[in-house]
Amino acid sequence: MKYAVLGTGMVGKTIATKLISLGHEVMMGSRTSTNEKAIAWAEEMGENATHGTFSAASAFAERIINCTSGGASVAALGAAGAENIGDKIIVDIANPLDFSEGFPPTLSVCNDDSLGEQIQRAFPKAKVVKTLNTVNCMLMVDPAGVPGEHSLFICGDDDDAKAQIRGLLGEFGWGPARIIDGGGISFARGTEAYLLLWTRLFGALGNANFNVELHLGETINAAD
């Protein structure tokens, strides 16, 4: 499978490197074709690893993974070009975190909207799947880093696209029982808002290597 990984930060590099290790072809996308981080990554990874602009990467790929900063994601995908994105799956890992007032951050999009929804509206032909945004990048590709059957969330308006990305998550080590489908892309309002708690926990624990594990009990009416 050919992937575009948009973003050259820690998340993008971790995801792209994992994909290469699984035998996929990856083009790391950035604003310019001369991005030093992207060039260095491609040289280090060797065969099946290339780099280019957001546009070139999206044209190359069969699937697109958005690892850009949440505040810049819509613009980055705009630079990729709707003609290059088409009806491809966009796996959105980004969160709309605003660090302008320092740590802990606030959300630049929340309550009645989400970054996932903004991306879906901006590219209506694409199939946006929101997932992996509630764990640190090392757990994204190696859930065994935390013991137990901890949980991961997925949402999106296209069921077939979600099924395909469940397969990718399985390649990363996330078993089917761990993956909780929240339904349509508006569920991203919840998973993105969870980052307000996640960042507070990170500050309190001094450790990003954690996750939540859901245990379902007897069904109770929420109105009770």
Q: How far apart are CA 13 and CA 70, in angstroms?
A: 16
Q: What is the pLDDT of residues 94-140, one digit of tens each?
A: 999 999 999 999 999 999 999 999 999 999 999 999 999 999 999 99
At 6, phi and psi to the nearest 5? -90, 120
Q: What is the pLDDT of residue 220?
A: 72
- Give percent of the chain with pLDDT exceeding 70: 98
Q: For 162, which DSSP code?
A: H
Q: Is 125 helix (H, G, I), strand (E, B) or coil?
A: coil
The domain ranges of the chain are 2-205
Q: Spell out where 109-178 has E strands.
A: 127-131, 152-156
Of 4, 2, 3, 52, the closest CA to residue 30 belongs to 52
At 91, phi and psi to the nearest 5? -90, 110
Q: Which pLDDT band, with edges at 50, 70 and 90, does 219 fall under?
A: confident
**Under CATH, what is the fold of the domain 2-205?**
Rossmann fold (3.40.50)
pTM recorded for the entire structure:
0.96
At 107, phi and psi to the nearest 5? -110, 135
